[in-house]
């Protein structure tokens, strides 16, 4: 079974990686609670059962890291994962932690899982970078991208069940395509335009809506201060007859978001968290939305302000 790894939560992806390692290394592979992990999501001490092979297994302490992304078609070669120009990358932040573990004699081997594509050239480059940076033997570093994950899940089909991965329990996930087209056109239109939005007369007040949806007073005030002006502009733009197709795309996106929120709200008890998670998910998944981060947040605020997402009553 193939999984849409980008639609798992980071914790679910980590559980899958640990379950695989219980087959590769041994049942004693130990996961750690969510929080500052000092460069490790799981650890195995002993002689590996099958990795890298039964004939020549790793011996000692193996540290396992799982680096999940919600982005589509992401790669190990993307600059957010590693760049020679900056240490402010996923791998750049991990290397000092691995190095500290090595200096403290707490790691002999290192496995990094990610739901990214991994080419042979990138694999060679990054393995050498990790080995050199952490003073590990090259043969003691292993990178697993989506291609290797598929191989292992075919070999160990029990792993998802051990990790308790059920598609119904996946986190809130939304498709950015419809919203991206609206935002792209809206960004061109907004230059120089202005208007203010007010809530429809038939809807609850903003303060009531915030209370019903468990949005904090501080967060609600900040959103209104930052994005109310754009809400008026968005409303005028979507109402224009020539933008009827964009209005339909907006409605499709809002419907998708609302149904996902209603189904998955238990994972995000406050609307502060949900708003931040949803907007981050959108900008990570689409380059147009990433280029227009503020406008994307304004659009999601408009959906909330206009009562297209979120609850209107406690019933």
Tell me the three-class secondary structure of 114-127, residue by residue. Answer: ECCECCHHHHHHHH
**What pLDDT is attached to residue 170?**
64
H or E element that contains 61: strand 59-67
Statement: residue 34 has pLDDT above 70: no
pLDDT tens across 136-180, in order? 999 999 999 999 998 998 899 888 888 877 655 666 777 788 899
Structure tokens at 165: 């991965």
Statement: residue 315 has pLDDT above 70: no
Instruction: Report which of residues 5 and 218 the model is more confident about.
Output: 218
Whole-angstrom distance, CA of residue 108 vs CA of residue 79? 28
pLDDT tens across 40-65, in order? 589 999 999 999 999 999 999 999 99
**What CATH class does 5-169 carry?**
alpha beta
Rounded mean pLDDT, 10-39 = 83
Lowest mean pLDDT among 63-67, 228-232, 251-255: 228-232
Residue with tokens 């409303």: 235
Sheet containing 141-144: order of strands: 30-31, 42-47, 59-67, 109-114, 141-144
pLDDT tens across 181-228, in order? 999 999 988 765 555 555 544 568 899 999 999 999 999 999 999 999
Give the alpha-carbon dihedral of 91, 92, 96, 102, to 10 degrees: 40
> 300: helix, coil or strand?
helix
**What pLDDT is attached to residue 167?**
57
User: What's the DSSP call for residue 75?
Assistant: B
Residue extents of the structural domains in the chain:
5-169, 177-305
**What pLDDT is attached to residue 76?**
96
H or E element that contains 47: strand 42-47
Q: Calculate the average pLDDT of the chain.
A: 87
Statement: residue 130 has pLDDT above 70: yes
């Amino acid at each position: 079974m193939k999984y849409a790894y980008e639609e798992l939560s980071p914790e679910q992806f980590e559980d899958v990686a640990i379950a695989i390692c219980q087959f590769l290394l041994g049942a004693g592979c130990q996961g750690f609670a969510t929080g500052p992990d000092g460069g490790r999501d799981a650890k195995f001490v002993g002689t590996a059962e099958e990795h890298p092979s039964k004939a020549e297994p790793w011996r000692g302490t193996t540290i396992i890291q799982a680096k999940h992304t919600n982005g589509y078609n992401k790669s190990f070669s993307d600059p957010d994962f590693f760049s020679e120009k900056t240490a402010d990358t996923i791998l750049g932040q991990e290397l000092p932690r691995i190095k500290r573990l090595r200096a403290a004699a707490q790691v002999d081997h290192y496995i990094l899982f990610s739901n990214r594509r991994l080419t042979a050239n990138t694999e060679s480059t990054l393995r050498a970078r990790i080995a050199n940076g952490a003073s590990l033997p090259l043969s003691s570093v292993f990178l697993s991208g989506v291609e290797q994950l598929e191989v292992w899940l075919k070999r160990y089909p029990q792993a998802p069940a051990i990790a308790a991965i059920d598609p119904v329990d996946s986190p809130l996930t939304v498709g950015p395509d419809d919203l991206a087209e609206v935002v792209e056109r809206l960004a061109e239109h907004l230059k120089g335009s202005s208007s203010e939005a007010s809530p429809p007369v038939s809807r609850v007040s903003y303060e009531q809506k915030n209370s019903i949806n468990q949005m904090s007073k501080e967060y609600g005030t900040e959103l209104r201060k930052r994005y109310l002006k754009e809400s008026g502009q968005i409303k005028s733009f979507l109402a224009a007859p020539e933008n009827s197709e964009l209005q339909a795309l907006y409605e499709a996106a809002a419907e998708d978001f609302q149904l996902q929120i209603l189904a998955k709200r238990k994972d995000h008890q406050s609307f502060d968290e949900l708003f931040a998670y949803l907007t981050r998910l959108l900008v990570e998944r689409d380059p147009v939305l990433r280029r227009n981060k503020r406008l994307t947040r304004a659009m999601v605020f408009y959906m909330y302000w206009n009562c297209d997402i979120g609850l209107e009553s406690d019933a």
